[in-house]
């Protein structure tokens, strides 16, 4: 069985994990929490990083720190993981769901601009499958309209745009360290920012609204969104190995591009000018496929012991989204219908990739004769 994802945990993770365990500091106090944050600041170039319990609580903290509250409109892309919209609902804000670009699959800046109303307070972009959104255009729009720019960078640790790493491309950025992400702590997340005031609020809110110095004095209603020192030990090792882990994933994606790129029945996610995507999960579109045909290919791969995934369904199709928030997003709809994610992880061998590619090509519908 070739799984779609598998963490790469080695001797360093084991060493730090046992060190945290043996120290007795297994809750959220302990030096690995601080070490992971320092390492994250180093990797992203962000001034401040705060680790937290997962990527969803990271999004919640980002919206709270940014002052997003009841009735505010937050513009999000229709193609993303459910956590993005959930966080908007946590703060009683209104998600305004817009379309994505056919090229990068990330939020369409023109659609963002068209969706702005007097109630809009933030743009929450998502770096889909490791590709950064167009933060150059989004920054201009945000500045022109006085909006907060937040990046859901859960899938893009290690990516960059014009040399600026993910984590330093928006006012506030969030990461996830779930088991299938570029680096993992089992469950975990982080928030990065350039702004000291946002950072202070994030630190306070993740820890029950605690006063910085006065014990058991809580200034605001806070949360327990802390990361344990045990998880932070694994995370520290993963972040110290990030360059190596990303290089191995990049080899996997390069192999896929080389073997599947020439096939005209497939369309890969395009890399925009100045962007270096992080090789998170190699995803392609089966040009013109219906979702039934796409699911047929997933089934065909499964019979050959290869796990694959459909690209995310549209966020507005979730039953909990009110009817008046269900905008029409035709580009995202097509990508979602045609898209498939293939196994991508550091230890995937070249032989495995060749096996996957042969199986994919064999399962594709034959090219229709040109007449
Ligand atoms: C994984 C992911 C999240 C949520 O992360 P968790 O750690 O699972 O809570 C949020 N947004 C996107 C785009 C993701 O891929």
Domain residues for 321?
A: 242-363
Give the residue carrying structure tokens 């882990």: 245
What's the CA gap between 302 and 311, in Å, rounded? 16
Q: Averaged over 55-61, what is the pLDDT? A: 98
Q: Which CATH number does the domain housing residue 325 bear?
A: 3.90.1150.10
1: Cα separation from own chain's centroid: 26
- Same domain for 207 and 301? no
Question: What's the mean pLDDT when you consider all of the chain?
Answer: 96
Q: What is the DSSP letter of 186?
A: S
- How is residue 222 written in tokens? 């806070």
- Using the predicted structure, report yes or no on whether residue 99 has a pLDDT greater than 80: yes
- Same domain for 42 and 179? yes
Q: Averaged over 153-164, what is the pLDDT? A: 98
- Going by alpha carbons, the residue nearest to atom 13 of ligand 1 is 81
* Residue from 151, 176, 234, 278 whose mutation best tests the ligand 1 pocket (most atoms within 8 A of CB): 176
- How is residue 102 written in tokens? 């056919």
Q: Averaged over 228-256, what is the pLDDT? A: 98
pLDDT tens digits, one per residue of 162-182 = 999 999 999 999 999 999 999
Domain C-terminal end among 215, 240, 265: 240
The percentage of the chain sitting over the pLDDT mark of 70, rounded to a whole number, equals: 99
Three state DSSP letters for 79-116: ECCCHHHHHHHHCCCEEEEECECCCCCCECHHHHHHHC
Q: Does 46 reside within a domain?
A: yes
Which atom of ligand 1 sits closest to the CA of residue 187?
A: 7
Q: Does 351 reside within a domain?
A: yes
- Going by alpha carbons, the residue nearest to atom 3 of ligand 1 is 55
Give me the phi and psi of 46, to 5 degrees please.
-75, 150
- Same domain for 229 and 349? no
- Using the predicted structure, report yes or no on whether residue 371 has a pLDDT greater than 50: no
136: Cα separation from own chain's centroid: 19
- Same domain for 73 and 197? yes
Q: What separation in Å is there between the alpha carbon of 362 and the centre of ligand 1?
A: 32
Contacts of 184 by beta carbon, 8 Å cutoff, 6+ apart: 7, 177, 178, 234, 235, 238
Q: What is the DSSP letter of 192?
A: E
- Same domain for 227 and 268? no
Domain C-terminal end among 218, 240, 262: 240
Please name every residue paired with 309 in a beta bridge, in sequence order, or none if there are none.
341
- When pLDDT is cut at 50, 70 and 90, the band that residue 26 belongs to is very high
Number of structural domains, the chain?
2
Q: Does 1 reside within a domain?
A: no
Q: What is the DSSP letter of 270?
A: P
- When pLDDT is cut at 50, 70 and 90, the band that residue 213 belongs to is confident
Q: Does 31 reside within a domain?
A: yes
Q: Does 189 reside within a domain?
A: yes
- Same domain for 209 and 164? yes
Q: What is residue 369's predicted lDDT score, i.e. its pLDDT?
A: 54
- Same domain for 163 and 183? yes
- Using the predicted structure, report yes or no on whether residue 282 has a pLDDT greater than 90: yes
Q: Averaged over 210-225, what is the pLDDT? A: 90
Q: Which CATH number does the domain housing residue 186 bear?
A: 3.40.640.10
- Same domain for 207 and 277? no
Q: Averaged over 277-297, what is the pLDDT? A: 95
- Same domain for 87 and 189? yes
* Length of the chain, in residues: 371
pLDDT tens digits, one per residue of 256-276 = 999 998 999 999 999 999 999
- Same domain for 194 and 184? yes
- Using the predicted structure, report yes or no on whether residue 16 has a pLDDT greater than 70: yes
- Same domain for 288 and 144? no
- Same domain for 158 and 268? no
Q: Does 122 reside within a domain?
A: yes
pLDDT tens digits, one per residue of 141-154 = 999 999 999 999 99
Q: Does 6 reside within a domain?
A: no
Domain C-terminal end among 211, 240, 269: 240
Q: Does 320 reside within a domain?
A: yes
Which atom of ligand 1 sits closest to the CA of residue 128?
A: 13
Contacts of 268 by beta carbon, 8 Å cutoff, 6+ apart: 257, 260, 261, 282, 283, 284, 285
Give me the phi and psi of 100, to 5 degrees please.
-115, 170
Asked whether the whole model's pTM tops 0.95, one would answer: yes
């Amino acid at each position: 069985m070739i799984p779609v994802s598998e963490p790469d945990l080695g001797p360093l993770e084991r060493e730090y994990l046992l060190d945290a365990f043996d120290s007795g500091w297994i809750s959220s106090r302990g030096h690995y929490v601080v070490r992971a944050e320092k390492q994250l600041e180093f990797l992203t170039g962000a001034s401040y990083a705060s680790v937290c319990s997962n990527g969803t609580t990271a999004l919640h903290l980002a919206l709270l720190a940014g002052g997003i509250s009841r009735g505010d409109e937050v513009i999000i892309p229709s193609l993303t993981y459910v956590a993005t919209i959930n966080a908007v609902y946590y703060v009683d804000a209104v998600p305004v769901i817009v379309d994505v670009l056919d090229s990068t699959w990330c939020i369409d800046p023109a659609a963002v601009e068209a969706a702005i109303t007097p109630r809009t307070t933030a743009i929450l972009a998502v770096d889909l499958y490791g590709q950064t959104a167009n933060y150059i255009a989004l920054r201009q729009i945000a500045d022109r309209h006085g909006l907060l720019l937040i990046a859901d960078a859960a899938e893009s640790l290690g990516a960059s745009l014009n040399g600026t790493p993910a984590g330093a491309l928006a006012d506030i950025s969030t990461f996830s360290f779930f088991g299938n992400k570029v680096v993992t702590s089992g469950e975990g997340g982080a928030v990065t920012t350039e702004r000291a005031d946002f950072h202070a609020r994030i630190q306070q809110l993740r820890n029950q609204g605690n006063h910085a110095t006065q014990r058991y004095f809580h200034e605001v209603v806070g949360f327990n969104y802390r990361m344990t020192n045990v998880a932070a030990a694994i995370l520290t090792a993963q972040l110290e190995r990030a360059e190596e882990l990303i290089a191995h994933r990049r080899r996997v994606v390069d192999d896929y591009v080389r073997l599947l790129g020439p096939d005209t029945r497939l369309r890969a996610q395009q890399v925009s000018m100045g962007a270096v995507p992080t090789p998170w999960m190699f995803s392609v579109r089966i040009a013109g496929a219906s979702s039934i045909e796409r699911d047929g290919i997933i089934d065909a791969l499964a019979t050959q012991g290869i796990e694959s995934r459909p690209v995310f369904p549209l966020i507005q199709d979730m039953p909990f989204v009110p009817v008046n928030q269900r905008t029409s997003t035709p580009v995202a709809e097509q990508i979602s219908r045609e898209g498939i994610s293939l196994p991508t992880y550091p230890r995937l061998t070249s032989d495995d990739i060749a096996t996957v590619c042969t199986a994919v090509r064999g399962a594709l519908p034959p090219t229709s004769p040109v007449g």
